[in-house]
Chain A
Amino acid sequence: MNGLSVRLSAALAAVLLFLGGCALIQPPAADDGRATLVRDGEALVWQDEYRFVPPPRPWQLIDLDEDDYSVGYMMLCDEGYPCQSTLAYAEEPFGYSLDFETRQEEFFRRFLWASRVNFAEPKLQPTEVFGKEGLIAVTEGIEPVLGHKVHAKVVFARRGERVVAFYFTQWRAADADYDLRDEQDFDRFVESFEFLRPSFFEQL
């Protein structure tokens, strides 16, 4: 036969082949994500999957069409440029490993990659999230060309066997001071977060 023949080992159930290249332009999703957010007292329930207390205004919900974000908020300020904070829960944070220490290394290799940020070695602190082991990583990234900096705090946690993450970033000009009061909103967001049912992966 001309061309390529695919021979499968009898031991395998399946071969998954993906042809890489450019993504096709995807049609916009039918809903904007907000339809899946339901208010439950002071909390919000997202897709019957998570329940959390949203950060107060002026934090704004952001719709991000990226797999790395499940739910995120941002806050702009006008003390120079850039002046912005974000907080998010990521069901599929960057990286692959199920081990937290390895995962945080993989995570920071890709996190804010498009922003060309050079991260300092993160300060790591073991913690407990959802009654299980967790890891907090705090670091600063420098964007040397534009003269921007970003403070980042990432909380790695476990959902079933997989690693999930919460992260907070605050962007400032290199010569400006951070205002880490916003980080307290992030901490409250993490503390309020709860899973309402086993994840897709736990049910596989």
Chain B
Amino acid sequence: MFDFLEGYDVLGAFWMTVKLTALSAVGSLIWGTLLAAMRVSPVPLMRGFGTAYVNIVRNIPLTVIIVFTSLGLADIFGVTMGAADNFDVQGFRLAVLGFIVYTASFVCEAIRSGINTVPLGQAEAARAIGLNFSQTLRLIVLPQAFRSVIGPLANVLIALTKNTTVAAAIGVAEAAALMKTMIENEAQTLAIGAVFAFGFVVLTLPTGLLLGWLAKRLAVKR
């Protein structure tokens, strides 16, 4: 029944999706946290930069950003991400760069909403014992904020998993690209669609359940 799968590396394509998701998740978590720190900092200029970044990037379609990394950054500006001779690796790295730029704005907003859940008294107490801004942020506020944003961050991660399919637009051989090839060449459109749909359900559903459970367990009870 599933003999149409022969000759196609479905697992390899999904492995590519997982790699894209994992690398982009780590990158956007770091960049997004930095952006969030800027957005809550006492320096007005940094706050302005953070706000502008989030509002601009959030409103550009991810597809535009991904296509731009390939046609703009790579073709015009010669940004090869250290893989000038290998188009597959270059496409992969450019896609990860694009996902980080885009997803970081959502990570930033999630963390900022988490910082807002920390009661004012916590920070007042921190200042009362003589901690400065970065100590208050690092030792008191962020640890509590992170625990309360596991749920929202899980949503960002799930959306990122689904968004990695956009990398197909610049020829990265991940799941959506393989599905496009397969349904064009094989007769069993419905069965192929079901296989790939199942693959994404397998990737996203456990993530949502696991992180949802974690969010409940780790939430700061107030």
Same complex for A and B? Answer: no
Chain B residues packing against A (C-beta within 8 Å): none
